[in-house]
A = this chain, B = another copy of it.
Amino acid sequence: MSEGVEWALHSCVNLAWSGPDRAVSAARLAAWHDLPAAYLNKQLQALARAGILTSSPGPRGGFRLARPLASISLMDVVAAVEGPEEAFRCTEIRRRGPGAGDPAAEGADAADCAVAHAMTRAELAWRRALAAQNLDEIRQQAEQQAPEAAGRLRAWLAAQ
């Protein structure tokens, strides 16, 4: 899995802690956790394209949350960064070579492949678990672990 997913999730929570009034540039968000700024910018662009963040150029510009944390699921972020295609893709090897059965007799749909069906079922469980958790729950748990984190971020942003 791409490392950008972790960065994107933390950045979204950081944006929530920063507050909705002002945007935060990719450089600030990157510096906060010592990440490569230009590359994090790439990931944030993906989040903006997915409608999770909004971006504004120029001074005082940057990124901010496009909607409340509670309405952003982990699945949204993962899909935005990793792409919508599923991890396991059936290449239909059973249709190639001498093992290929009669195409007319058998169903031509990829959903008929028992292997693909089973793998898709597992991946569906993964996606469902991701969709069941939203970023606000993440934020609440993080605040419970480190209650001063939000204040420290805001103070650091103000001092920049």
Residues of A within 8 A of B (CB): 1, 3, 5-7, 9-10, 13-14, 31-35, 74, 87-91, 93-94, 96-99, 101, 105-107, 112, 114-119, 121-126, 128-130, 133, 137-139, 141-142, 145-146, 148-149, 152-153, 156
Contact = CB atoms under 8 A, between A and B. Distances in A.
A93 B129 contact: no
Interface of A is mostly: helix
Contacts of A122: 74, 126, 129-130, 133
A129 B129 CA distance: 11
- State the oligomeric state as a number of copies: 2
A118 B138 contact: yes
A134 B66 CA distance: 43
B133 A35 contact: no
Contacts of A87: 1, 87
Given A74-B118, A129-B122, A133-B121, A145 B91 contact: no
A91 B6 contact: yes
Contacts of A9: 115, 119
